[in-house]
């Protein structure tokens, strides 16, 4: 199967590193012109030089801060005044870790702005063009914690669950327009985010980070954590014509970690 995204334009959030970077690179390798979107303008400029442009792609980047929703609204609205996208990958950095008893109402509001409002607002802007052309792909990067909550990620558990249920509703409404909406449920991947969480967990438990990582790997049936490149392969498929009959789904990418159906 040859996945070709030639002629498609993609917008990828959180794409200066980790999973977002891997997704952006794979979409570019499949022929799409990619707009990177994250905080680090310098890093995104470097990435554009690394990304495949052999099929005439025109890559660009948009510096944004997802933690400041009002400022984000201004920047993303200005972007869509002069740009359209065919493929939208909704992805932001995760909120601070911590259990339910550690978090206050304001923490949940901030997480809601970061994980939910930014996704809905961006999608609303992207949908106009997708509906006009009767084709589009919306892919939300979520977490396995929406199915099996992780007690040290109370904010993420709560708000990402809202994202995937919203996405299910949206998928029904836009299916007639040739637009698919899917969410990927992230397991353990080799990213800075995992390293930061493991560092805090190690400090809390009084053990080494290597021990925390080894225990994490042991939990996964394939006995390793994921390579972000593997994430890019899944998203490129969901963005392709071959995935036109897949919509309204939550797809775990976790090495078999989830125990629930």
Q: Are residues 203 and 140 in the same domain?
A: no
The percentage of the chain sitting over the pLDDT mark of 70, rounded to a whole number, equals 100
Q: Are residues 200 and 143 in the same domain?
A: no
At residue 201 the predicted structure's pLDDT band, cuts being 50, 70 and 90, is confident
Average confidence (pLDDT) over 190-219: 87
Helix (H) or strand (E) holding 132: helix 118-133
Report the pLDDT value the prediction gives residue 60, as an integer from 0 to 100: 98
Q: Are residues 144 and 210 in the same domain?
A: no
Residue numbers of the domain that contains 213: 191-225
At residue 74 the predicted structure's pLDDT band, cuts being 50, 70 and 90, is very high
pLDDT reading at 195 higher than 90? no
173-149-25 Cα angle (round to 5):
65
Statement: the pTM of the whole predicted model exceeds 0.85: yes
* Residue 1 falls inside a structural domain: no
Report the pLDDT value the prediction gives residue 192, as an integer from 0 to 100: 83
Taking only the tens place, the pLDDT of each residue in 14-53 is 999 999 999 999 999 999 999 999 999 999 999 999 999 9
Q: Are 158 and 146 in contact (CB under 8 A)?
A: no
Q: Is the dihedral of CA 181, 100, 213, 36 positive or negative?
A: positive
* Residue 249 falls inside a structural domain: yes
At residue 224 the predicted structure's pLDDT band, cuts being 50, 70 and 90, is very high
Please give the tally of structural domains in the chain: 2
């Amino acid at each position: 199967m040859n996945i070709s995204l030639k002629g498609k334009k993609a917008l990828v959030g959180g794409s200066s590193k980790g999973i977002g970077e891997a997704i952006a690179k794979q979409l570019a390798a499949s022929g799409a012109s990619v707009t990177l979107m994250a905080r680090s303008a310098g890093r995104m400029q470097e990435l554009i030089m690394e990304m495949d442009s052999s099929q005439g792609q025109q890559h660009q980047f948009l510096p944004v801060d997802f933690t400041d929703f009002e400022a984000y609204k201004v920047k993303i609205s200005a972007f869509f005044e002069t740009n359209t996208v065919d493929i939208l990958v909704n992805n932001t950095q995760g909120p601070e870790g911590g259990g339910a008893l550690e978090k206050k109402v304001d923490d949940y509001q901030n997480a809601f702005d970061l994980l939910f409002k930014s996704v809905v607002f961006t999608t609303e802007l992207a949908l106009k063009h997708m509906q006009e052309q009767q084709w589009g792909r919306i892919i939300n990067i979520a977490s396995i914690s929406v199915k099996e909550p992780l007690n040290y990620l109370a904010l993420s558990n709560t708000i990402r669950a809202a994202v995937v249920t919203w996405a299910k509703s949206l998928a029904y409404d836009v299916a007639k327009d040739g637009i698919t909406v899917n969410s990927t449920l992230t397991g353990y991947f080799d990213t800075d985010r995992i390293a930061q969480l493991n560092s805090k967990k190690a400090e809390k438990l009084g053990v080494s980070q290597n021990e925390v990582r080894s225990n994490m790997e042991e939990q996964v049936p394939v006995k390793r954590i994921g390579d972000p490149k593997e994430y890019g392969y899944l998203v490129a498929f969901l963005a392709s014509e071959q995935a036109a009959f897949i919509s309204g789904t939550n797809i775990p990418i976790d090495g078999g970690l989830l125990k629930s159906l």
